[in-house]
């Protein structure tokens, strides 16, 4: 595994592990013992960056993922960076499979959240604490002020913003330096590339969630793939709809062609494309399977040249694609 730095001084593995899917959004939670073994295996492979949130869970156990991550990583706590998030809850009365998000970043809510996350994670500090979504009802300067206090108290060491745009990033950074943003980014979701100059100016890292477009860019899914209704969000994601396979055929063909030339997998090329684009980009693909864990880590060893990236970007620019889940292109402020 290779390593890189977010912000000024947060060293992390070049590929992180998004832990959400072990507990939330991809069907029923996996067996806890198996996932603890998987997380230990990740540490052995060189992963040092693990991402969770207070809301990743089930109706029966809304905080399942933080508890799992805390238990599994306890023996390795001094070797790993744990990121978690505050500031939203789900609108559980909704009948939607993917429940609407309700932002709430009032200072007293943040204070309660950080204490509860510390307990569930079994740690005395959080390495990277994100506002999960911008709360229009609370000025970002007020949120950043609370982050500054938490850093001074030693409860967190770094903080970040998720699904935030330039205006919010700049305003927050002026109050308390932001270490990283965590925004969606993949070959199918490139709208946040406009933030690259801002991040470089302010020395802020970019943590890419859904870097494989929720697994679609692994090229392992076909028209016969099925997803559990009600608990697996992929059952309602546009990129997995039957008609999307035809719309995305050229994209998958491109990935397979490049992968063959690099002796890699399509998923590895999808990750290497962003890793080789910017030194401050860190993808956090999720998985429940040891072979995928190893495959994703291997993406850090694949070299794509600047010319390779330019050629790929030109092809992606002109290529027909389906919609992709989570397309908040114009709503990030």
Which listed residue (26, 56, 221, 233) is catalytic?
A: 56
Q: Which long-range contacts (CB under 8 A, 24 or more apart) does 146-150 make?
A: 146/107, 146/110, 146/111, 147/176, 148/175, 148/176, 150/110, 150/114
Q: Are 50 and 83 in contact (CB under 8 A)?
A: yes
Spatial neighbors of 332 by CB under 8 A, at least 6 apart, are 134, 163, 164, 165, 168, 183, 192
Q: What are phi and psi of 12, to 5 degrees?
A: -140, 160
DSSP state of 31: P
Spatial neighbors of 241 by CB under 8 A, at least 6 apart, are 322
> What is the SS3 string spanning 220-232?
CCCCCCCCCCCCE
- Alpha carbon distance 54, 64 (integer Å): 8
Residue 56 known to be catalytic: yes
How many residues appear in the chain? Answer: 333
Q: List the 281-283 sheet strands across, edge first.
A: 17-18, 49-51, 81-86, 128-131, 159-162, 180-184, 205-209, 281-283
Q: Catalytic positions, please?
A: 56
């Amino acid at each position: 595994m290779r390593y890189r730095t977010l912000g000024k001084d947060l060293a992390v593995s070049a590929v992180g592990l998004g832990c959400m899917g072990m507990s939330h959004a991809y069907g029923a939670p996996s067996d806890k013992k198996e996932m603890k073994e998987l997380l230990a295996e990740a540490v052995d492979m060189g992963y040092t960056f693990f991402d969770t949130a207070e809301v990743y869970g089930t109706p029966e156990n809304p905080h399942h993922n933080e508890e799992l991550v805390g238990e599994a990583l306890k023996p390795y706590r001094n070797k790993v960076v744990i990121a978690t998030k505050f500031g939203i809850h789900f609108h559980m009365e909704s009948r939607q499979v993917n429940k609407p998000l309700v932002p709430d970043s009032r200072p007293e809510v943040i204070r309660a959240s950080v204490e509860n996350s510390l307990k569930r994670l079994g740690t005395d500090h959080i390495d990277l604490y994100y506002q999960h979504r911008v709360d229009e009802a609370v000025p970002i300067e007020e949120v950043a002020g609370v982050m500054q206090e938490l850093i001074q108290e030693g409860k967190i060491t770094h903080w970040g913003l998720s699904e935030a745009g330039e205006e919010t990033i700049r305003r927050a950074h002026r109050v308390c330096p932001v270490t990283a943003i965590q925004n969606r980014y993949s070959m199918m979701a490139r709208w946040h590339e406009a933030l690259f100059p801002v991040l470089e100016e302010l020395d802020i890292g970019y943590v890419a969630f859904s870097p494989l477009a929720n697994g679609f860019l692994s090229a392992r899914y076909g028209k016969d793939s099925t997803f559990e209704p009600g608990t697996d969000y992929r059952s309602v994601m546009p990129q997995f709809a039957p008609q999307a396979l035809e719309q995305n055929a050229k994209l998958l063909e491109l990935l397979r062609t490049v992968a063959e030339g690099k002796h890699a997998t399509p998923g590895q090329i999808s990750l290497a494309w962003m890793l080789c684009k910017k030194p401050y980009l860190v993808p956090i693909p999720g998985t429940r399977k040891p072979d995928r864990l190893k495959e994703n880590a291997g993406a850090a060893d694949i070299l794509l040249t600047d010319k390779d990236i330019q050629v790929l970007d030109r092809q992606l620019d002109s290529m027909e694609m389906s919609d992709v889940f989570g397309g908040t292109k114009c709503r990030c402020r």
